[in-house]
Amino acid sequence: MKTSLQIHFFIAIFIAIFFLPTSVFAAYYDNVKADAIYKKIDLADYVDQVSGEELLNEYKRLIASDDEIRQKLYVRLYCWNQPSTTDSELASAIKYAEQQLLIYSVPYPSAIHTDLLLCLGYYKQFSGQLDEALDDLSNAINNAYELEDPRLIADGRSIRGAMLSYQGNYSSALEDLITSQQLYENLNLTYWANDNLSELAASYRRFGDAETALKYQIKLEQAYLKANQQIEADNINNQIAFSLLELGRIDESTARFKQSLTFWKTQKDNIAIADAKTNIAGNLIKLDKIDEALVLLKEAEKEIPVSNDGPHSSLMLYLAQVYLAKNELDKALEYSQLASIDFNRGGNQRGENENIYLKSDIYQAKGDIENALKTLQKFIKMHMALDKQNMSDRNSEMQARFNTNKIQTENEWLIQRDKDKEQQLQILQRNESMQIIIIILVAIILIIVSMFAYKQVIRKQLFRRLALTDELTKLANRRDTYSQGHYFLKSSKLSGNPFSIISFDADHFKMVNDTLGHDMGDKVLVKLASISASMMRDTDVVGRVGGEEFLILLPNIDKTKAIEIANRLIETIADYDWTQIAPNLHQTVSAGVASYSNEEDLSPLLLKADKALYSAKAAGRNCVKAE
């Protein structure tokens, strides 16, 4: 995040010094209060979610509409602060991230695009789109390395590591989480370092090293309590309770869960209260206090939504265990089936393995030996796979714990770059009398770099034009036209705005080539391109997609308007004095119109336009038909 912002900052200073009045520069970039609020939000330096939302609203009010840098920062913050408790809220958060990714798709990669991609992957994992979430997170992490942005790398690998740990992929999770831990600590991001360390400790607990997990967790709890971060302290208190449970210290674990229940009652958070009751009930089941556990679980069942995979899956599993103990086997099987849905949606193989073993016991109690045996075989197969994975993970854990040199080497240059830039900013702040000299020096360096960059940009633009432009007509070629068509269709699908296309080609063009020659035919095509391009808006796209075939893309144009445009085009071409090109030449075109109507891809829309074009040909040419 900081690398990209600093580059924009220095460029803005250079432009301001040489091209803008001093008063304009000061008004545009001097917003100390907004920057202080941004820092508080970025470091999670607020009491609760409500306070965070208030800070975000205040930040929005403080920044100017043309303050591009801070407006982009607001978009990023807003994405991460979406409500996401229910399925509908998750869907809304995912939609927002996808819309903003379309808006900020260029340049690529960029800090804002990468952060939005991380945000999208984060929400997708909680909506059950696990494969897509992993793809988004991995792509974002690759982009962060390309941008050389240590903060984005740390954020991405922390989120992905937590997701992989929950799913039971400990070797990959450890590599991600340890990398993030080192980056956060070197960046002095204490809050996020502690948050990541909590996930790292949970990973150790999940594959059996509860002792190590407990050491980390107790230190974290003390740090959170000292900083008066009550919600974070409660979260780690729950993690400690789970570690104590793994170590067989059930009474201590239960006391921790009851402590959490008391805290959330003061906060009046019904879902968190229900989650605490579920955890207490799980311990009561282990102590064979079935009736007490059932009372708590039925109270929790009224509050925990299905969209909360983790708490809801535990709730369903514990209810299945209780009803098995009470010999109410149909209910036990029903809740076990619901637990399977939750575990599979969240990718929790450990939980599902425990649930499969429970299901085998239920079938056995019902006297259904065949299903009991099948389920037990499934458990054994999954258990062996998990054991094999755990062995690999333990090897990875030992390597990660005692040989972190590789990860440290990979991160060292990123951290050093970030520290160097922080020191440069501190020097600027301490030495006001030297700021002008430093800015001028930076400007000179930027000029030199810009000269080189300008040549590179020109070269890239030339290559791009060659790759995307039809050599004869200078219109967009087939590849570029179809690419932009896909983009317009996707935008129309998201926004609900209309989108139409016009497919047209020259009538009897083969006769022109045969009688007048290909050179004259080329001149006809160039003139057709010139006429059609001159009649369209700047936002429209006119492309040559075949020999004498052309395609016009009309975003935000409905079918009726598209037909009017096509008719004007037909008439203009027919009325043109073609004798300027060749004596006795009279060229016409035929056109087909089609509009977007829930097509998933561009191809069906193109087929509709082609069908309409064929109809125009069959109707005698020099006319328009629509599908």
Residues 6+ apart with CB under 8 A from 77: 38, 41, 42, 56, 59
Cα separation, 535 vs 362, in Å, equals 74
Cα separation, 509 vs 624, in Å, equals 18
Q: Is 168 left (phi over 0), alpha (psi -120 to 50) or beta?
A: left
Residue 401 is which amino acid?
A: R
Cα separation, 203 vs 99, in Å, equals 34
DSSP element (H, E) containing 327: none
Q: Is 297 left (phi over 0), alpha (psi -120 to 50) or beta?
A: alpha
Residues 6+ apart with CB under 8 A from 478: 543, 544, 545, 546
Tokens found for residue 564:
């009017």
Tokens found for residue 122:
């984060």
Residues 6+ apart with CB under 8 A from 200: 161, 174, 177, 178, 181, 216
The reply to whether omega before 107 is within 30° of 0 (cis) is yes
Q: Is-contact 322 331, C-beta < 8 A?
A: no
Please name the residue ranges forming H helices in 403-434: 405-430
Q: How far apart are the first and last CA of the chain?
A: 49
Q: Please tell me which residue in 412, 548, 549, 599 is annotated as part of the active site.
A: 548
Kindly report the CA angle at 433 between 431 and 438, in degrees rounded to 5?
75
* Of 197, 204, 194, residue with least CA distance to 177: 197
Q: Is-contact 110 375, C-beta < 8 A?
A: no
548 is catalytic: yes
DSSP element (H, E) containing 622: none
Q: Is 31 left (phi over 0), alpha (psi -120 to 50) or beta?
A: beta
Q: Is-contact 582 516, C-beta < 8 A?
A: yes
Measured on CA atoms in the order 263, 269, 274, 279, is the torsion positive or negative?
Answer: negative
Cα separation, 451 vs 449, in Å, equals 5
Cα separation, 505 vs 507, in Å, equals 6
Residues 6+ apart with CB under 8 A from 294: 281, 319, 322, 326
SS3 of residue 275 by DSSP: helix
Q: Is-contact 335 323, C-beta < 8 A?
A: yes
The residues assigned a catalytic role are 548
